[in-house]
């Protein structure tokens, strides 16, 4: 095992242990159970966003893009709102959690492949236009979701309102096993594709001449991204810039283009940032929901810095 990976894993382990055990009182059984489920949620979300971002950056051959910047999260929120609109609030609440989530993920994968496959294919020549299109699509999806929510029902609007505001301390316990299962499967699949992803990163001409089925691989990667984004958005809501921070850190710490190293490193870093951040904000500063805002703020500044440095290619 690579030494850098081991160090990151150790940091994550230490942070998780601190998160679980810090200031645990006499009521430790209850506290431990509560914290364990929150911790598991954060690890799943952090790793999902991280792996989704690395996959998306490889497919789009661009280090400043994340699925969220391109409107993936907003698409998921829109699908979910449309589902509430179609079934009604009670119908939505009565569906079994697992089946609902599976259906959402399936629709999301198809929609993402169709929309973003097209966008990535057409946008190869003009990256700035492609990114701008993605950002505007995100605004469009959010507005549509808001519109649907207002038109159907005030209760539904309350549901959608909470869905569209990210919070790491509000993780749905019933959904967690399903989401974790989907995330683990998608990550295993991504890990199996590692060597092919390395080839994709070389660019279309090289990849094709090396005998890779480029289009099929791109679509497979986009489908995995869609699954992972569904997992993270379903659990905590839309998070725009977190993946950017994680992939930036992973690239600079690993300094290698090999996905066999990059993917696990990013997953570990994603989990570690969330756990440490939540530890600091929840326990030290006593602010429950500030982490998502701070992550957005720093990530946004990082994105601006990358743009100004001309790192768009």
User: Which 134-163 positions form the footprint of another protein (CB under 8 A)?
Assistant: 135-137, 139-140, 142-144, 146-147, 150-151, 161
Would you say 66 or 218 has its CB closer to another protein?
66
Q: Report the residue from 18, 37, 61, 133 that binds another protein according to the rule CB under 8 A.
A: 133
Would you say 56 or 303 has its CB closer to another protein?
303
Q: Write down the least CB distance from residue 303 to another protein, Å.
A: 5
User: Which 59-118 positions form the footprint of another protein (CB under 8 A)?
Assistant: none
Closest alpha carbon to 163 in 239, 77, 88: 77
Q: Report the residue from 50, 263, 268, 290 that binds another protein according to the rule CB under 8 A.
A: 290
CA dihedral (48, 36, 18, 291) positive or negative? positive
Q: Write down the least CB distance from residue 38 to another protein, Å.
A: 19
Q: Write down the least CB distance from residue 82 to another protein, Å.
A: 14
- The token pair at 132 is 């701008």
Between helix 242-254 and helix 28-60 the angle, nearest 10°, is 80
User: Which 195-214 positions form the footprint of another protein (CB under 8 A)?
Assistant: none
Q: Write down the least CB distance from residue 140 to another protein, Å.
A: 4
Q: Write down the least CB distance from residue 102 to another protein, Å.
A: 29
Please provide the distance, in angstroms rounded to a whole number, between the alpha carbons at the two ends of the chain. Answer: 32
Would you say 160 or 197 has its CB closer to another protein?
160
- The token pair at 173 is 């316990």
Report how far residue 266's alpha carbon sits from residue 52's, in angstroms, rounded to the nearest whole number. Answer: 10
Would you say 150 or 213 has its CB closer to another protein?
150
- Residues whose CB falls within 8 Å of the CB of residue 13, separated by 6 or more in sequence, listed in order: none
Report how far residue 256's alpha carbon sits from residue 249's, in angstroms, rounded to the nearest whole number. Answer: 12
- Residues whose CB falls within 8 Å of the CB of residue 255, separated by 6 or more in sequence, listed in order: none
Report how far residue 299's alpha carbon sits from residue 292's, in angstroms, rounded to the nearest whole number. Answer: 10
Q: Write down the least CB distance from residue 100 to another protein, Å.
A: 26
Report how far residue 215's alpha carbon sits from residue 165's, in angstroms, rounded to the nearest whole number. Answer: 34
Residues that bind another protein (CB under 8 A): 126, 128-129, 131-133, 135-137, 139-140, 142-144, 146-147, 150-151, 161, 240-241, 287, 289-290, 293-294, 296-297, 300-301, 303-304, 307-308, 310, 312
């Amino acid at each position: 095992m690579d030494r850098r990976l081991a160090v990151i894993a150790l940091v994550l382990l230490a942070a998780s242990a601190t998160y679980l055990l810090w200031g645990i009182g006499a009521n430790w059984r209850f506290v431990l159970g509560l914290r364990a489920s929150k911790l598991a949620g954060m690890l799943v979300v952090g790793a999902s966003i991280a792996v989704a971002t690395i996959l998306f950056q490889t497919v789009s051959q661009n280090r400043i893009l994340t699925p969220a910047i391109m409107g993936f999260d907003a698409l998921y929120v829109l699908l979910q709102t449309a589902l509430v609109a179609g079934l009604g609030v009670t119908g939505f609440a009565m569906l079994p959690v697992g089946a609902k989530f599976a259906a959402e993920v399936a629709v999301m994968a198809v929609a993402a492949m169709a929309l973003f496959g097209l966008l990535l294919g057409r946008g190869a020549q003009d990256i700035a236009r492609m990114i701008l299109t993605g950002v505007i699509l995100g605004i469009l999806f959010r507005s549509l979701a808001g519109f649907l929510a207002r038109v159907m029902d005030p209760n539904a609007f309350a549901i959608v309102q909470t869905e569209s505001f990210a919070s790491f301390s509000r993780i749905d316990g019933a959904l967690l096993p399903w989401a974790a299962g989907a995330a683990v499967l998608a990550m295993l699949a991504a890990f199996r594709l590692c060597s092919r992803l390395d080839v994709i990163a070389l660019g279309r001409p090289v990849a094709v001449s090396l005998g890779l089925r480029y289009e099929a691989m791109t679509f497979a990667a986009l489908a995995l991204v869609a699954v992972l984004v569904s997992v993270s958005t379903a659990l905590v809501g839309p998070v725009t810039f977190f993946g950017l921070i994680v992939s930036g850190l992973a690239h600079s710490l690993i300094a290698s283009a090999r996905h066999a190293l990059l993917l696990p490193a990013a997953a570990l870093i994603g989990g570690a940032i969330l756990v440490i951040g939540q530890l600091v904000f929840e326990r030290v500063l006593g602010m429950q929901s500030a982490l998502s805002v701070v992550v957005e703020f720093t990530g946004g500044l990082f994105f601006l810095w990358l743009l100004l440095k001309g790192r768009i290619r």
